[in-house]
């Protein structure tokens, strides 16, 4: 069993990842911290409670709210993709009697700051804790700045972020999580703890079509599957209009998959840097992934190949 802390900015695809992690026996989710990104951090925390409310858990992970602003840049959010509330506008859905269709989980948010919870968990599980980041890396960089010795005892950091040989999803050269806080990402990548990256190059290989999602919902008709259908409608409409297919990429589920189904993922060593100053390339992740030019001093493993259909099959089996 792997002990993990999830750092997230929920986010529709974050919901897929969080639900998968909590339904994976290989993982024990010790804590979840929120960060600004897809939404402002207060909304991200509310969205996390909504996601957790879908699950019938006897005990919830410790939850703490993290940073409200990137290290240097003004915050950029993604309501145009994820809906006004960042979770497919599920906060507007009501039952016949007017109550919330998806009420928040019956658990409390810690009074501890997200950065402090990260450091507490790193100290509690030295050389064992894996941090999985599904949003900008602001919390992780702040934790490193506050107590680098504790953070050096992490087992590894698994990141959904970056793009190397494809186009970005914010600008031509940048992926959203890195673009929002490139300074934080570069600090984390250069820190020296093992980093495993699931970039757009990998996540774009996993296409969840609307037809597949609706078929799975109809087959299972579970609270989780119904929530996934309802929360993805706005996102899939964005994809239909701007990407060219009715469905979505479940980006953030891949770092969880890398921990639970490692045989489905192929990675290469790389030395990854982040552009923090470029006018046209701000947030660009830069690395040479060619095998014949592998670096002598890699700072990351970058996922380049996914067995997509097997991953999706197992994903839905766990989220019944």
pLDDT at 56: 85
pLDDT, one tens digit per residue, over 222-255 is 899 899 999 999 999 999 999 999 999 999 999 9
Runs of H (alpha helix) within the chain: 12-22, 41-53, 79-82, 114-124, 138-146, 148-151, 176-180, 182-189, 200-203, 210-220, 223-242, 253-260, 308-318
Among 183, 196, 249, 251, the one annotated catalytic: 251
pLDDT at 146: 98
Residue 296: which residues within 8 A CB-CB, separation 6 or more?
none
Number of C-beta neighbours around residue 175 at 10 A = 27
pLDDT, one tens digit per residue, over 274-301 is 999 999 999 999 999 987 776 678 999 9
Q: Identify which of 248, 292, 269 has the alpha carbon closest to the alpha carbon of residue 88.
A: 248
CB 239 within 8 A of CB 246: yes
- Alpha carbon of residue 315 to chain centroid: 15
Q: Which residue has the tokens 């948010």?
A: 109
Q: What DSSP string runs through 185-196?
A: HHHHHTS-S-EE
| Cα(12)–Cα(207) distance, integer angstroms | 15
251 belongs to the catalytic site: yes
Residues of the chain with pLDDT under 50: none
pLDDT at 222: 87
Residue 120: which residues within 8 A CB-CB, separation 6 or more?
112
Residue spans of the domains in the chain: they are: 2-318
In the chain, the N- to C-terminal Cα span, in Å, equals 21
pLDDT at 320: 73
225 forms beta bridges with none
HSE value, Cβ hemisphere, 13 Å, CA-based, for 289: 19
Quickly name the fold that domain 2-318 has: Inosine-uridine Nucleoside N-ribohydrolase; Chain A (3.90.245)
Number of C-beta neighbours around residue 80 at 10 A = 10
- Beta strand pairing call for 195-198 and 273-274: unpaired
Q: Identify which of 163, 159, 150, 162 has the alpha carbon closest to the alpha carbon of residue 131.
A: 159
């Amino acid at each position: 069993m792997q002990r993990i802390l999830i750092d997230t900015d929920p986010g529709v695809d974050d919901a897929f990842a969080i639900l998968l992690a909590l339904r994976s026996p290989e993982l024990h989710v010790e804590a979840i911290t929120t960060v600004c990104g897809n939404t402002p951090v207060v909304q991200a925390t509310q969205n996390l409670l909504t996601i957790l409310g879908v699950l019938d858990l006897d005990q919830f992970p410790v939850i703490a709210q993290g940073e409200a602003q990137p290290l240097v840049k003004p915050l950029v959010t993604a309501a145009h993709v994820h809906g006004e509330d960042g979770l497919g506008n599920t906060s507007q859905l009501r039952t016949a009697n007017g109550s919330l269709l998806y009420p928040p989980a019956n658990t409390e948010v810690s009074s501890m700051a997200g950065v402090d919870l990260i450091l507490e968990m790193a100290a509690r599980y030295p050389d064992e804790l894996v941090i999985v980041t599904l949003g900008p890396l602001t919390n992780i960089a702040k934790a490193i700045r506050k107590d680098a010795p504790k953070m050096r005892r992490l087992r590894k950091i698994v990141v959904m972020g970056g793009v190397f040989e494809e186009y970005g999803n914010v600008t031509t050269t940048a992926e959203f999580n890195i673009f929002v806080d490139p300074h934080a990402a570069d600090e984390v990548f250069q820190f020296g703890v093992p980093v495993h990256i699931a970039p757009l190059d990998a996540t774009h290989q996993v296409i969840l079509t609307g037809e597949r999602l609706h078929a799975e919902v109809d087959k299972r008709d579970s609270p989780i599957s119904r929530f996934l259908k309802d929360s993805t409608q706005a996102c899939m409409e964005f994809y239909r209009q701007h990407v060219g297919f009715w469905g979505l990429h479940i980006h953030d589920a891949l770092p969880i998959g890398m921990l639970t189904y490692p045989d489905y993922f192929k990675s290469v060593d790389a030395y990854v840097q982040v552009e923090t100053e470029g006018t046209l390339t701000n947030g660009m992740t830069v690395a040479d992934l060619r095998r014949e030019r592998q670096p002598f001093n890699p700072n990351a493993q970058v996922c380049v190949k996914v067995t997509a259909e097997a991953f999706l099959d197992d994903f839905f089996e766990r989220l019944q």
